[in-house]
Chain A
Amino acid sequence: MKALFAMLAPDRQADRQADRVVPPSGPTAWLTSFTAGAMAFLAVFALALSLASGRLADRWAGALDRTATVRLSAPQDQMDAQTAAVLEVLATTPGVASARAMTDDEQRALLAPWFGPDLPIESLPLPRLIELTEASPGYDGEGLRLRLAAEAPAAVLDDHTRWRRPLAVAAARLRLLGLLSIALIATATAAMITLAANSALSANAQVIKVLRLVGARDSYIARAFVRRFTLRALTGAAVGTVLGMIGVALLPSTDAAGGFLTGLGFQGAGWLLPLTLPPLAGAVAFLATRASAFAKLKELT
């Protein structure tokens, strides 16, 4: 890294001279800038996806983690008595902050997406749902189940584990996918820049030969190419990052989009994270070009 920062220092006369002895790179330079820009643009979205899925995982896990449901499937004539019994058990259970039976309207609202708003809920043998909110520290699930079995045999405790686990796994995998995408983008960027650097070095084989003949060290020749490609990658990635951030900022808002897209983007200090992409692209270009240049120089002279 020290070498990278030293090389990018704008007032180094030796670097400027090294720049001049190598002719302009032509298309390979544009290819580098374009590649870095496109990859940074994609990386911004991958980063946004990763952060959003992280938040989603936290939100899902958090929401489900603090609540549980007791489902009471008792005969209609025993429903009120067992509901009262369950509420009584919950009220005396350590770790349960609150508990309440859902109203018919709330249950109707839950079923509305599948059966419509006019469901005659009174005429259906629907179970009673009792929502409980967990305190910190939480309750003893196994002990609560035993107590419910004794007081209200028709009550089943659902602590949302079977819902929470796949959701958390899915969100965690989404986050991993985002990070993997960033790694792949960095690798692809390195590969493209290596190809471009190799092409530029091959195209300048005669220049390199002359430089070696007049006593230039490999590090001097490599510096000219490395500095050029690093700066171009840095510039391209900066443009790509800004465009990507504008793209993310223009995504539909949470309220308008809803669903899965909810929260896809950056929040608060998260907006600073994409700003690490241009230096990262510069570092990738620096390492890729440097390795490529030294290998190619040995091959050429």
Chain B
Amino acid sequence: MIAFENVAYSYGGGELLSDITLRLAPGSFHFLTGPSGAGKSTFLKLCYAELLPTSGNITLFDRNVRDLARDDVALTRRRIGVVHQDCQFLDHLPLAPNVALPLTVAGRASAAADLTDLLGWVGLGHLADALPPSLSGGERQRAALARAIIMGPDVVLADEPTGNLDWEMSLRLLTLLIELNRMGKTVLIATHDLNLIRQAKSQLAARVLRISKRRIQLAGADL
């Protein structure tokens, strides 16, 4: 589904990620940890072709990212739902059309009932008409998750999805992501919240990857 082969990424003259080889299998659940600035967000950006590797090969759905034209990248991103760290929304549109944005740009009509169900699933049914700037951090994170999954993607990537949330809200979001994984979606969460990882591992067989010294390693079982 997503495969890295000897991938390196350099930025500003320095190598941020080096010699990364891994494969995210369909239906797997991964955490990605590491200190701030270690390259977690960069790794995720490589996963949805916002960045291209400096060397090595990344294969997304059996296609090398270097071979993807701009339209191909757009089509590939429709299969990958991303929850961004800063939850980017279109501030002039209410929440409902923001969540439905991936469907809109793909030219697919969203059934109002489905959209209402999805917003209800993430606990935002009462905020469908609210503008993004009026939402709290937790509401924005859940809205971002709803937007990430509305296309029924094969993969869900989340970059520090609980960064601005209290523990109760973090658990709620984690529960949503675990539910998605049980539906067969591949999930990768970048986080440095070890409690969240422990909580997830108590519910499912999640693998924990750690970025250390520019490389990705399988983290110890004591997490």
Contacts and interface: CB of A to CB of B under 8 A. Distances in A.
Interface stretch (A89-97, A154-162, A215-223): A215-223
Chain B, interface size category, equals 20 to 34
A170 interface: no
Given A17-B104, A21-B101, A298 B70 contact: yes
B82 A211 contact: no
B77 A213 contact: yes
B92 interface: yes
A206 B132 CA distance: 14
A207 B90 contact: yes
Contact of A215 (B84, B97, B102): B102
Contacts of B102: 214-215
Interface in B163-201: none
A214 B107 contact: no
A215 B92 contact: no
A298 to B, nearest CB: 7
B93 interface: yes
B52 to A, nearest CB: 13
B110 to A, nearest CB: 11
A26 B44 CA distance: 35
Interface string A216-238: 11111000000000000000000
A261 B97 CA distance: 59
A215 B151 contact: yes
Interface in A253-301: 298
Given A20-B97, A298-B70, A214 B105 contact: yes
Given A21-B104, A21-B105, A214-B147, 10 more contacts: A17-B104, A207-B90, A210-B88, A213-B84, A214-B101, A216-B74, A217-B74, A217-B105, A218-B71, A220-B107
11 contacts: A14-B107, A20-B97, A21-B105, A211-B105, A212-B74, A215-B77, A215-B78, A215-B151, A217-B75, A219-B71, A298-B70
8 A-B pairs closest in CB distance: A216-B105, A215-B78, A215-B77, A23-B92, A214-B102, A217-B74, A210-B88, A215-B74
